[in-house]
Structure 1
Amino acid sequence: MLTYADKMEIVRQHQSGAPVQTVPLAKDLGVNVYHVPDWPGDLSGKIMKSEKHGGKSGYAIYVNQAHHSNRRRFTTAHEIAHFILHQDSIGDGITDDGLYRSRLSNAMEAQANRLAADILMPWHLLNKYIDGGTKSVDKLAGIFKVSESAMSIRLGVPA
């Protein structure tokens, strides 16, 4: 089983340029990703152990295919964050609704959201673009393939 440090090193290896590719990252962590059509309600994503669908780690991430591609990327990063931070709490699965709420504590969901932002919008890449003159939220959001809302939160500016 990979340690936290091992997992974070794999994340860093995938942060050489924007946008960070979440599906290859998950695969390198040993987690398979599936985009699920016709998912009920506002479910965004789920991570679970799966003998049939799991990657080398035994885990699989399922993402609502109907959501916008930026949303699917954040959902995938959020579920990767659960794998990195909360693997021992996944049990038979963590399902996140549209607001990234699950049976886990609010603190654990907030941790997963923060790490998802760190994965998708690492400061070393953001600063490279900002220092190069790209400062608008919408342009940065486009480069990193995240929502303007996510980028605003990351930069600490009003949406």
Structure 2
Amino acid sequence: MDMREKLQIVGLYMSMHETPPINVVGLANRLGIKVYEADWPSTISGKIQKDREKGGHSGFAIFVNKSHSRNRRRFTIAHEVAHFVLHEDLIGDGVFDDALYRSGLPNKIEQQANGLAADILMPYQIVQANLDMSIDALADMFDVSTAAITARLSTVSSAGSFVS
């Protein structure tokens, strides 16, 4: 499956689940990725890797730090899904993301993954339609941290989105 097909699956899944919060585990499963919790130090957020035993029909599995908050785990899963959609060829034996979503991949690659993760968790059109809500209310609506929704609000005016 190429990037265009993966983005179509993401777009279709999101159009079928228009009411936030988006079920990121459901989206990962739809893309053929299994999601697991891992017992890691707080400095590690998540990892995506090819895994013959634990991977879904895509052959990939996402592992997320079970000690992190629900909001953090949701963003991590969306971020790792984004790596699969945008950068499958760069995953190799696995991409570990630390608590700042740094993996050793170039910053541009991590920014792209963060951008698509934001598009998934906080769809542009829904954010824009609810700009009259408070930061806390928006964070609750999308099941994200106030830091994530604040960052998203700073990009709403730029109208750039991976998922239309």
Same fold (TM over 0.5): yes
Report % sequence identity: 51
Deviations 1:125-158 (A, max 9, x none): 222333xxx421110010000100010011019x
The answer to whether the aligner puts 1:23 opposite 2:22 as a matched pair is no
Partners of 1:146 and 1:21 lie apart in 2 by 12
For structure 1, which segment, 2-11 or 68-77, has the greater mean C-alpha deviation from structure 2 after superposition?
Answer: 2-11
Partners of 1:102 and 1:14 lie apart in 2 by 27
Which of 123, 140, 143 is matched with 2:141 structurally? 143
**Structure 1, unaligned stretches of length 5 or more?**
none
Q: SS of the counterpart of 2:44?
A: coil
**Aligned match of 1:120:** 121
Aligned length: 152
Q: SS of the counterpart of 1:44?
A: strand
**Aligned match of 2:5:** 6
Partners of 1:41 and 1:18 lie apart in 2 by 27
User: Which portions of structure 1, spanning 4 or more consecutive aligned residues, are displaced by more than 3 angstroms?
Assistant: none
Partners of 2:9 and 2:46 lie apart in 1 by 22
Partners of 1:104 and 1:145 lie apart in 2 by 27
Q: Superposition RMSD on alpha carbons, in Å?
A: 1.3
1:44·1:63 contact (CA, 8 Å) conserved in 2?
yes
**Structure 2, unaligned stretches of length 5 or more?**
156-164
TM-score by length of structure 2 reads: 0.88
Shift of 1:41: 4.3
Deviations 1:29-86 (A, max 9, x none): 01100011x3134100000000010000000000001000000000000000000111
1:14·1:21 contact (CA, 8 Å) conserved in 2?
no
